[in-house]
């Protein structure tokens, strides 16, 4: 059973220097109130793993703007000028990963795989420093799994066992990140008693969720 905690308690679980996965794409599926609380706390030297750095005033972009990251592992930064500004200043490290590869690396981290093989990036800058493996005459890159200290999720509904439902496209990276962190915190619009969610509707099983926050 997941433990229901306050927003302040959730933020206290995230300490300087930790790695965090932040679900969502341009803020869709991102726990905005938890991000706001983390901005207010000012936790520093974080490593962020997300699809994008979102916008300056939305999603993970607020943490970038507040200079709380030392590194981000992302697929896209183009709509958040602060990301490139800090990169050019040398205050932020960026690891670019193709979006599909990023999702599969997170999935591999969550399910105990040693990595994935993908043809994406073969013969490009993406290949630098990576192992190329040939299978049946085709070349692939070995992409290693990604895990984090904490995953921050946003659900439309949760039950007290931690089972989650997301609203439409807001699920994006939420389910895979739930499995790939040491601690998973889900902010839910609604928290109901165990048994109030039909098992067929569960999108993330409660076994992956450690803490719930009423959002």
Provide the pLDDT for residue 55.
81
DSSP code of 180? S
Provide the pLDDT for residue 186.
98
d(CA 64, CA 53) in angstroms, rounded, equals 7
d(CA 86, CA 103) in angstroms, rounded, equals 25
Mean pLDDT of 56-65: 91
DSSP code of 195? T
How does DSSP assign 3-49, residue by residue?
EEE-HHHHHHT--TT-EEEE--BTTBT--HHHHHHHHHHT--SEEEE
How does DSSP assign 60-128, residue by residue?
THHHHHTT-EEEEEESB-TT-HHHHHHHHHTS-EEEE--HHHHHHHHHHHHTT-S-EEE-TTTTSGGGT
- Cβ neighbors of 127 (< 8 A, separation 6 or more) are 121, 141
Provide the pLDDT for residue 162.
97
* pLDDT range class, residue 215, cuts 50, 70, 90: confident
Contact of 167 with 188, CB cutoff 8 Å: no
CA 214 to chain CA centroid, Å, is 19
Q: For the segment 144-153, what is each residue's pLDDT rounded down to a tens digit?
A: 999 999 999 9
Q: For the segment 18-34, what is each residue's pLDDT rounded down to a tens digit?
A: 999 999 987 889 999 99
Mean pLDDT of 53-82: 92
Q: Is the pLDDT of residue 1 over 80?
A: no
Provide the pLDDT for residue 26.
79
Provide the pLDDT for residue 56.
78
Sequence ranges of the domains in the chain: 5-214
Q: For the segment 89-144, what is each residue's pLDDT rounded down to a tens digit?
A: 999 999 999 999 999 999 999 999 999 999 999 999 889 999 999 999 999 999 99
Strand 148-159 to 181-192 pairing: parallel
b or e along 93-129 (b: 16 or more beta carbons within 10 Å of the residue's beta carbon)?
Answer: eeeebbeebbbbbbbbbbeeeebbebebbeeeebeee
Contact of 151 with 167, CB cutoff 8 Å: no
d(CA 176, CA 111) in angstroms, rounded, equals 9
Mean pLDDT of 62-90: 94
* Whether the predicted model's global pTM rises above the 0.85 cut: yes
Cα-Cα-Cα-Cα dihedral sign, residues 56, 57, 61, 62: positive
5-214 fold:
Glutaconate Coenzyme A-transferase (3.40.1080)
């Amino acid at each position: 059973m997941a433990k229901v905690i306050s927003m302040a308690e959730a933020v206290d679980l995230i300490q300087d220097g930790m790695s965090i996965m932040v679900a969502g794409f341009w803020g869709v599926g991102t726990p905005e109130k938890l991000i706001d609380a983390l901005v207010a706390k000012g936790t520093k030297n974080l490593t962020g793993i997300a699809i994008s750095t979102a916008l300056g005033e939305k999603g993970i972009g607020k943490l970038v703007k507040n200079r709380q990251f030392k590194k981000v592992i992302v697929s896209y930064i183009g709509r958040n000028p602060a990301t490139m500004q800090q990169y050019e200043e040398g205050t932020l490290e960026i690891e670019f990963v193709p979006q599909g590869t990023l999702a599969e690396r997170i999935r591999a981290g969550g399910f105990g795989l040693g990595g994935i093989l993908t043809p994406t990036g073969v013969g490009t800058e993406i290949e630098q420093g990576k192992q190329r493996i040939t299978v049946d005459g085709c070349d692939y890159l070995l992409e290693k799994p990604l895990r984090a200290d904490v995953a921050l999720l946003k659900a439309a509904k949760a039950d007290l066992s931690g089972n989650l439902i997301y609203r439409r496209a807001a699920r994006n990276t939420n389910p895979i990140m739930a499995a790939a962190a040491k601690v998973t915190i889900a902010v839910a619009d609604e928290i109901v008693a165990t048994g109030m969610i039909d098992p067929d509707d569960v999108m993330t099983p409660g076994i992956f969720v450690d803490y719930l926050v009423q959002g």
